[in-house]
């Protein structure tokens, strides 16, 4: 897998880290043979400052597609991972089924009960237009109150985000998702969803960390990866501490904190608020290389 993107990481039930990637190719170019998505690699790295290394690929010697389907079939072209969460001994993968990039036809949830080695469909299949298309690209984090909190947006990198919560044992049931909305002068669960932060949101990563919650995301409107620290997922995000983590840059003028055609920005398990490690994607859409995932360390975010 010389060419790939996303690299969404989650701690596995057996203590490793699973990184789930999107459209993946055998050679170092987009479209460079053996198209697969999603695929995943395991890591046993404990010292993130030494750099993430791989201990194995899901599927054997070479990373196999996590479940079988044909790309560019009459129904859809590819399936892209949105986020992964571990609840007890089970990992859940939310995926967007696309017919052309950015055109989501439905989303679905898969599960693994063996730390990512095999996956099966949960039966959950959510309509692409749910909540006005704002329930397509999501990120979720498990609270200590038995709820999974879900930030979501559409997959066009042009819309705000909304918040829902769902009991941790019911995440495959669309009817169990409870929106957070503003009505009659107050915010409350069960109201129709109201955007919690305006902007042009791309890939999202919501995680509990260090006694707080953090959101990192590709800020498509301002061409950068930003982060917010909050007390709870229902905190007022317009007032929460916010920081640019990695700036967009131009080809030929990159440095450690300026990356050309960047996106993603997922928090790698083992991060702290003081030393935040992110998996950051880069795709030169003119030449189709680089198309890759990089590890970035951001110090002093907290």
DSSP 3-state assignment of 59?
coil
Computed on alpha carbons and rounded to an integer, the radius of gyration of the chain in Å comes to 18
* Contacts for 17 with CB less than 8 Å, ≥ 6 apart: 9, 10, 11, 42, 43, 44, 45, 52, 268, 269, 270
CA 200 to each of CA 29, 36, 219, 262, 272: distance values in angstroms, whole numbers, following the listed order: 28, 28, 6, 15, 26
Look at residue 43 and tell me whether its pLDDT is greater than 90.
yes
- Please state the domain count of the chain: 1
- Predicted confidence at residue 172, as pLDDT, reads 98
What is the structure's pLDDT at 222? 98
- Both tokens of 147, joined, read 């709820």
Condensed to tens digits (0 to 9), the pLDDT of residues 143-165 reads 999 999 999 999 999 999 999 99
Domain annotation covers residue 1: no
Residue 208: give its domain's CATH number. 2.115.10.20
**pLDDT at 56 > cutoff 90:** yes
Q: Give residue 139's pLDDT band: very low, low, confident or very high (50, 70, 90).
A: very high
pLDDT at 302 over 90: no
Predicted pLDDT of residue 69: 98
DSSP 95: E
> What is the C-alpha to C-alpha distance for residues 271 and 193, in angstroms, rounded to an integer?
31
Q: Tell whether 114 is covered by a domain.
A: yes
- Going across the sheet that includes 90-98, the strands are 78-87, 90-98, 104-112, 120-127
Q: Please list the residues that pair with 92 across neighbouring strands.
A: 85, 111
pLDDT tops 90 at residue 102: no
- Going by C-alpha positions, the residue among 103, 224, 213 that lies closest to residue 154 is 103
Mean pLDDT value across residues 90-105 = 96
Taking Cα atoms as reference points, which of 218, 227, 201, 221 lies closest to residue 280? Answer: 218
Tell me whether residue 128 is in a domain. Answer: yes
Express as a percent the part of the chain with pLDDT over 70. Answer: 100
CA distance 229 to 240: 6
Cα dihedral 53, 57, 58, 62, rounded to 10, equals 160
pLDDT of residue 126: 98
Q: Tell me the per-residue pLDDT of 219-269, one tens digit each, with 9 for 90 and over.
A: 999 999 999 999 999 999 999 999 999 999 999 999 999 999 999 999 999
At 89 the three-state DSSP class reads coil
Task: State how far the Cα of 66 lies from the Cα of 201, in Å rounded to an integer.
Answer: 27
Q: What is the rounded average pLDDT of the residues 190-212?
A: 98
Residues 6+ apart with CB under 8 A from 131: 152, 162, 179, 193
The reply to whether omega before 38 is within 30° of 0 (cis) is yes
- In sequence order, what are the residues at sequence separation of 6 or more whose Cβ sits closer than 8 angstroms to the Cβ of residue 174? 124, 126, 130
Q: Which domain holds residue 245?
A: 8-299
Is 28 in contact with 2 (CB distance < 8 Å)?
A: yes
DSSP 68: -
**Local confidence band at 75 (pLDDT 50, 70, 90 cut-offs):** very high
């Amino acid at each position: 897998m010389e060419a790939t993107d996303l690299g969404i990481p989650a701690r596995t039930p057996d203590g490793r880290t699973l990184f789930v990637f999107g459209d993946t190719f055998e050679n170092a170019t987009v479209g460079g043979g053996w198209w697969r998505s999603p695929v995943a690699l395991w890591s046993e790295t404990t010292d993130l400052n030494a750099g993430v290394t791989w201990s194995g690929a899901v599927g054997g010697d070479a990373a196999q597609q996590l479940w079988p389907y044909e790309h560019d079939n009459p129904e859809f072209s590819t399936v892209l991972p949105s986020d992964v969460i571990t609840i007890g001994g089970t990992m859940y993968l939310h995926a967007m089924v696309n017919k052309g990039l950015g055109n989501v036809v439905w989303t679905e949830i898969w599960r693994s009960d063996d730390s990512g080695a095999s996956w099966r469909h949960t039966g959950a299949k959510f309509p692409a237009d749910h909540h006005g298309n704002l329930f397509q690209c999501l990120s979720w984090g498990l609270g200590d109150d038995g709820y999974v909190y879900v930030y979501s947006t559409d997959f066009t990198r042009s819309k705000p985000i909304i918040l829902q919560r769902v009991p941790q044992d019911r995440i495959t049931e669309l009817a169990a998702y409870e929106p957070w909305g503003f009505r009659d002068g107050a915010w409350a669960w069960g109201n129709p969803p109201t955007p919690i932060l305006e902007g042009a949101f791309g890939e999202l990563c919501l995680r509990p960390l260090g006694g707080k919650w953090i959101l990192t995301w590709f800020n498509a409107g301002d061409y950068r990866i930003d982060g917010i620290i909050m007390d709870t997922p229902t905190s007022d995000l317009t007032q929460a501490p916010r920081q640019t983590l990695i700036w967009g840059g131009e080809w030929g003028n990159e440095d450690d904190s300026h990356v050309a055609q960047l996106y993603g920005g997922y928090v790698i398990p083992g991060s702290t608020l003081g030393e935040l490690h992110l998996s950051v994607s880069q795709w030169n859409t003119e030449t189709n290389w680089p198309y890759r995932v990089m590890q970035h360390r951001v110090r002093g975010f907290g």
